[in-house]
């Protein structure tokens, strides 16, 4: 009897367990797995819920058919597989393949957490995108990026990249072209779509003290050890001194130095001319495309448009666009006294005179040309010191400053430091020097060896 009662009780317990399991398998419930994923249990079939992430495309491996997505405000990367069944659309809602995804895009992604395969990808409606941005500025003091007349915030989470790799923010300079993407006032992705290279002048001693024009965008005094940073593309480079000019064409490649030898030069008179500036009062400063220019004698310029600025303490600064169309133009500019009364004849708008070269005032210039001519403030009481990489040539805004380690007078504002060393790749960095009455000490990474 004791035997039968013992086993009878076990049988009852077994039957109760069977009934409990039957209840749990008769309907669907949601539970958390050890991996933290939600799982739907229906009968004997398990199906995990799709997961979602909104982030930046930081890598596309077209051979492995994988895409890496980084969270908007994190450093977490999610590597996902994609195939022909993945529903991927571009900003127009047009279906594309995973191979067509672009570095730096912001995408909302739905994926299967079991096999980490993309189910769908699209660009959220709140995401904005600006392409082909070639006029922009960074302000390190307030972490802002300005372009197209607007200001956006960047942060430590903002992803800076070239077309296929991550870069530092300071590796982007004003010769580059970028694509910016973000949400609201935040810029989450800045992609350099067109980079810059360098022109090294050689055997040009005769022209020292003259000027060099690179296309219509760069005009510099000719000095020792000239290395000029310029956006990728083809340019007409002109050296001029007195009545002598030398002209050569050059193609600038991304990240590379191109040597331009002027040991044998040709005098060129077509498509360039000497412009005479008649500026009152005498001693006012003239800036062309942001560079100070000595106009005590005629200035040689390629044909085309230039941003100019004339300023002097006590007078209203004058800015405009100079259109050089032929040689021999005379441009007359009379600055207005800041204390001049309304209605005074001295308030007449300054205008150019002579020749067919024209100058458009700010109030009348083209809407498409919104670039500003800016000048740099000099802090002669403080210095900028570069301590690394040792032995490299240092250029500040294309002007040679010496070999590392070296120090030079502090210049306030945004500018470009270029480092060059034989056998190594030339590198540029954009810096923002504050007006804080302090010396600046900078050190940069060692240059990479030039494999070419």
Q: How far apart are the first and last CA of the chain?
A: 96
Predicted local confidence at residue 121, as pLDDT: 97
Q: Is the dihedral of CA 158, 162, 168, 172 positive or negative?
A: negative
| Residue 449: DSSP 8-state | B
pLDDT digits (tens, 9 = 90+) for 202-251: 999 989 888 999 998 899 999 999 999 999 999 999 999 887 889 999 99
* Sign of the dihedral through C-alpha 352, 358, 363, 364: positive
Return the C-alpha torsion angle 112, 115, 117, 120, nearest 10: -10
**pLDDT one digit per residue (tens) for the chain, 452 residues:** 444 444 455 554 455 555 444 444 444 333 322 233 444 343 444 456 899 999 999 999 999 999 999 999 998 999 999 999 999 999 899 999 999 999 999 999 999 999 999 999 999 999 999 999 999 999 888 999 999 999 999 999 999 999 888 999 999 999 999 999 999 999 999 999 999 999 999 999 989 888 999 998 899 999 999 999 999 999 999 999 887 889 999 999 999 999 999 988 766 556 777 888 999 888 899 999 888 888 888 888 888 888 899 998 888 889 888 888 776 778 889 888 877 644 433 333 334 433 334 444 443 333 333 334 445 788 889 999 999 999 999 999 998 999 999 999 999 888 899 999 999 999 999 998 988 999 999 999 999 998 76
Cα separations in angstroms, 22 against 26, 35, 48: 6, 26, 22
Dmax (CA) of the chain: 129
Beta strands 318-324 and 304-311, pairing class: antiparallel
Is 6 in a helix, a strand, or coil? helix
Question: Tell me: the pLDDT tens digits for 185-195?
Answer: 999 999 999 99
User: What's the token pair of residue 343?
Assistant: 């209605």
Neighbours of 80 (CB within 10 A): 22
Long-range contacts of 397-404 (CB under 8 A, 24+ apart): 398/218, 398/220, 398/226, 398/227, 398/228, 398/229, 399/220, 399/223, 400/223, 400/224, 400/225, 400/226, 400/227
């Amino acid at each position: 009897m004791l035997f039968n009662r013992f086993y009878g009780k076990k049988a009852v317990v077994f039957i109760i367990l069977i009934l409990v399991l039957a209840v749990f398998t008769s309907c669907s419930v949601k539970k958390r797995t050890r991996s933290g994923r939600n799982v739907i249990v229906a009968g004997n079939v398990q199906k995990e819920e799709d997961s979602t992430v909104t982030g930046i495309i930081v890598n596309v491996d077209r051979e492995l058919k994988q895409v890496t997505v980084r969270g908007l405000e994190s450093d977490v990367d999610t590597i996902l597989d994609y195939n022909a069944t993945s529903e991927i659309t571009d900003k127009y809602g047009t279906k594309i393949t995973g191979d067509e995804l672009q570095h730096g895009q912001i995408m909302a992604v739905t994926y299967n957490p079991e096999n980490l395969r993309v189910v769908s990808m699209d660009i959220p409606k709140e995401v904005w995108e600006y392409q082909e941005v070639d006029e922009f500025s960074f302000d390190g003091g307030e972490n802002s990026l300005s372009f197209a007349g607007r200001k956006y915030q960047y942060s430590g989470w903002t992803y800076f990249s070239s077309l296929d790799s991550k870069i530092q923010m300071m590796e982007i300079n004003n010769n580059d072209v970028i694509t910016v993407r973000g949400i609201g006032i935040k810029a989450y992705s800045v992609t350099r779509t067109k980079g810059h290279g360098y022109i090294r002048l050689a055997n040009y001693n005769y022209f020292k003290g003259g000027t060099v024009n690179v296309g219509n965008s760069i005009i510099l005094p000719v000095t020792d050890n000239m290395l000029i940073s310029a956006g990728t593309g083809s340019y007409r480079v002109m050296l001029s001194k007195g009545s002598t000019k030398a002209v050569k064409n050059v193609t600038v490649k991304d990240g590379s130095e191109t040597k331009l030898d002027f040991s044998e030069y040709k005098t060129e008179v077509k498509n360039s001319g000497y412009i005479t500036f008649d500026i009152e009062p005498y001693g006012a400063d003239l800036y062309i495309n942001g560079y100070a220019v000595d106009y005590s004698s005629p200035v040689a310029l390629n044909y085309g448009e230039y941003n100019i600025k004339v300023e002097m303490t006590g007078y209203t600064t004058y800015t405009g666009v100079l259109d050089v169309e032929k040689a021999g133009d005379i441009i007359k500019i009379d600055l207005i006294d800041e204390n001049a009364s309304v209605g005074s004849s001295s308030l007449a708008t300054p205008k150019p005179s002579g020749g067919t070269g024209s100058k458009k005032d700010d109030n009348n210039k083209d809407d498409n040309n919104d670039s500003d001519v800016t000048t740099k403030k000099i802090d002669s009481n403080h210095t900028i010191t570069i301590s690394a990489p040792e032995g490299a040539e240092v250029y500040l805004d294309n002007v040679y400053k010496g070999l590392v380690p070296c120090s030079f007078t502090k210049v306030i504002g945004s500018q470009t430091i270029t480092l060059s060393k034989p056998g190594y790749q030339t590198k540029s960095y954009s810096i923002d020097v504050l007006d804080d009455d302090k010396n600046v000490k900078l050190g940069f990474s060692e240059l990479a060896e030039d494999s070419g």
